Structure formats: C-alpha cells, structure tokens
Amino acid sequence: MQKLGEFKLPHFFNYPPYFTLQPVRDTREKQVQLWKELIIEYCRAQKVFIIGLEEDFPLFSNRAIERRAEWTDKGHKKCLILWHRIQEWADLIVHFVKENGLEDNVMTVEEIRSGTESRGTELYGIDRSVLMRALKLLEHKGKLVIFKGTSTDDEGVKFSL
C-alpha cells in the first residue's frame, strides 16, 4: 500500500479505472463518492483545511500508473482531467473511425466531438483541446491530416488508416 506521509492510500488508488471517469452512472457515482471520501480522509489525516489550486496536491498524481492532473493555465486555476492518456484517446479515435467505416473520409473536428456517429461513444462531448492533442498525435504517426478552414469550426480531418 502506497503512503503519503503517515496517510495510507487505499488499495484501489493504484488501479487505473479509479482515475478513469466511469461511463456507467451507478459506477461513476460510487467512484465520485470514493474520491470525495479519499480527499476528505487525506485532508483530515494531514490537517489540510485548504487545497491551494496553485500547489501540487498529492492525490492528483500517481506515478505508479502514470496519471496526474494537468493545469491548463499558468495561474493553476483550471485543471485538465485526463481519464485516458492522449495515446488512449488516439486509439479510441482509430477504433471509432474503423467501426464507422471512415478510413478514407473527411470529418470536421466538431463532427467527431458531437456528430451523429460519435453519439454513445466516449468521443461524444470530448474536450476540444484533448481531441486536438489526440488528433495531432495521430497526424504525427501519419494516420490522418488536419486541415484548417476559415474558422476553428471549419477544421477538418482526413483519415488515412
């Protein structure tokens, strides 16, 4: 069992799904409750009354499973929560493309995030910055080309899987 100071982390802290937002409502509610309890117990044990957003908070990173919070601004007021690594998001995109027969098609970035094909998948509603990072990774690997339109709504993706 991993320790933070004298605080013993629960056994599930090193279990990646604990850091992955669960899609099933009942499971997600249990997960959120476990996180609330963990944060409260940790703060009680460590006598932490305020969590400074500009400071590193030990529960928001886990080197053993390579998961951590990522700040989106220099002031550390907004935190990006990656319940999948960028590579895993990229894998989900490839799966989505193949499953929908889009291997040689063009889609807009918005269609990937909110189109008919993405409804009911983890890609539906994905944060645009996370999606763009995954798409850029796939572009770097030669699996697609991102092209710009006249506005960000016009950005397109040409798959070549």
Q: What's the CATH number where 66 sits?
A: 1.10.10.570
Residue 41's identity, in one-letter code, is E
Residue 10's identity, in one-letter code, is P
28/71 same-domain check: yes
Query: Where would I find the beta strands (DSSP E) of 93-143?
Result: 106-108
57/92 same-domain check: no
State pLDDT tens for residues 76-91.
666 676 667 899 999 9
Q: Which of 47, 80, 113 is the last residue of a domain?
A: 80
Question: Can you tell me the mean pLDDT for 45-68?
Answer: 71
101/36 same-domain check: no
131/65 same-domain check: no
Name 62's bridge partners: 67
98/69 same-domain check: no
- Cα–Cα distance, 63 to 67 (Å, whole number): 6
- Cα–Cα distance, 36 to 32 (Å, whole number): 6
- Cα–Cα distance, 139 to 86 (Å, whole number): 13
| CB atoms near residue 25 (< 10 Å) | 8
Q: pLDDT tier at 98 (50, 70, 90 boundaries)?
A: very high
90/76 same-domain check: no
- Cα–Cα distance, 57 to 141 (Å, whole number): 34
75/93 same-domain check: no
9/75 same-domain check: yes
Q: Which of 30, 61, 80 is the last residue of a domain?
A: 80
State pLDDT tens for residues 14-24.
766 666 777 88
Domain CATH code at residue 116: 1.10.10.10
Contacts of 11 (CB under 8 A, 6+ apart): 1
Give the number of domains in the chain: 2
Q: Which of 64, 80, 96 is the last residue of a domain?
A: 80
Domain encompassing residue 59: 3-80
Whole-prediction pTM: 0.63
